[in-house]
Amino acid sequence: MDALSTNSLTLGYGEESIIKELDLTIPKEKITVFIGSNGCGKSTLLRSLARLLKPQQGSVILDGNDIAHTPTKEIARNLAILPQSPVAPEGLTVLQLVKQGRYPYQSWLQQWSEQDEKAVYEALELTNMLEFADRKVDSLSGGQRQRAWIAMTLAQDTDILLLDEPTTYLDLTHQIDILDLLYDLNQSEQRTIVMVLHDLNLASRYADHIVAIHNKNIYKQGDPDTIITPELVHSVLGLHCQVTADPICGTPLCVPFSKGRHLNAMKNAVTSVSQ
Ligand X SMILES: Nc1ncnc2c1ncn2[C@@H]1O[C@H](COP(=O)(O)OP(=O)(O)OP(=O)(O)O)[C@@H](O)[C@H]1O
Nearer to Mg ion, 36 or 104 (CB): 36
3-state secondary structure of 15: coil
CA torsion 175→178→182→187, rounded to 10°? 90
Nearer to ligand X, 15 or 134 (CB): 15
Nearer to ligand X, 13 or 112 (CB): 13
Cβ contacts of 87 within 8 Å, gap of 6 or more: none
Q: Minimum CB separation from ligand X for residue 124, in Å?
A: 27
Nearer to Mg ion, 84 or 217 (CB): 84
Q: What residue ranges bind Mg ion (CB under 5 A)?
A: 43, 84
Q: Which does 38 bind (CB under 5 to 8 A by kind): Mg ion, ligand X, none?
A: ligand X
Q: What is the distance between the alpha carbons of residues 264 and 131, in angstroms, rounded to a whole number?
A: 48
Q: Which does 238 bind (CB under 5 to 8 A by kind): Mg ion, ligand X, none?
A: none
Q: Minimum CB separation from ligand X for residue 18, in Å?
A: 5
Q: What is the distance between the alpha carbons of residues 269 and 158, in angstroms, rounded to a whole number?
A: 47
* Dihedral pair phi/psi, residue 27, rounded to 5°: -65, 135
Q: Minimum CB separation from ligand X for residue 16, in Å?
A: 7
Nearer to ligand X, 41 or 55 (CB): 41
Helices 172-189 and 142-155, axial angle in degrees (round to 10): 10
Q: Minimum CB separation from ligand X for residue 204, in Å?
A: 18
Q: What residue ranges bind ligand X (CB under 6 A)?
A: 13, 18, 36, 38-44, 84
Q: Which does 18 bind (CB under 5 to 8 A by kind): ligand X, Mg ion, none?
A: ligand X
The helix or strand, by DSSP H or E, that contains position 235, with its residue range, turns out to be: helix 230-237
Q: Minimum CB separation from ligand X for residue 245, in Å?
A: 27
Q: How would you label 12-38 residue by residue, b for 16+ Cβ within 10 Å and e otherwise?
A: beeeebbbbebebebbebbbbbbbbee
